[in-house]
Structure 1
Amino acid sequence: MQMRRVVTITVLTGSLVVGGASAAVAAERPAGEGRAARCARLAERVGQVPDIRARIGSRIDQMEQRIADATPAARQAVADRLEPRIERLRGVDTRIADLAARAQERCAGTT
């Protein structure tokens, strides 16, 4: 349950960082908004990225610790169940970092 919440926040923030056409962004974006205003909003969201990435890293560490703490007999079963989740979270973490970097490049010099 906790992992879903982290991924949901991450994906939502990821879409907002690139200015995706999600309903949340469309609802808060006034018509005719200029680039400076968009970049100011992106800068605020990019500022949230380190906290989100830290939560993802913490969750990955917890899952790896659960694998390490499992008894030898159960370790493989636990690893088989958790490894796909760990890989998915690593992929989300990488995408978030890439999106934040692209947003910063896109808005460089606009303030």
Structure 2
Amino acid sequence: MRHLEDKLHEEVWRVLRYALPADAVAVSHENRQNGAREGARRKKRGCLPGWPDVQILYRGRSILIELKSQRGSLSPAQREMHERIEGAGGDVAVCRTVDGVLAYLRCCGVPLRAEVMA
């Protein structure tokens, strides 16, 4: 399952580099489980379990996206974090395709410079 999500992450990132307007900033967050030692190191640095994979800053907004393969499901930490984000007034979407990411960005009012051609 991880391999499929990695592929989706790469495809989304490749498209975002061209599709986002010049005044948008995108970042990918790596929250992969890499053992107890790495988990403790990240916790000390303030990394939050369940934080969404992609964050886009655009004109005062923070747009959060969790990427999942077609069969992937949210972990308990992800479900809890999404609830916390929404409780704090933020929005987060779960997207399973590049088209889903682009559709969500359009719904958020982000003007895209490029579209994916099938």
Give the TM-score normalised by the residue count of structure 2: 0.25
- The structure whose residues are more often strand, as a share, is 2
User: Looking at CA atoms only, which structure, 1 or 2, has the larger radius of gyration?
Assistant: 1
Higher relative CO (Cα under 8 Å, sequence separation at least 6) belongs to 1
- The structure whose residues are more often helix, as a share, is 1
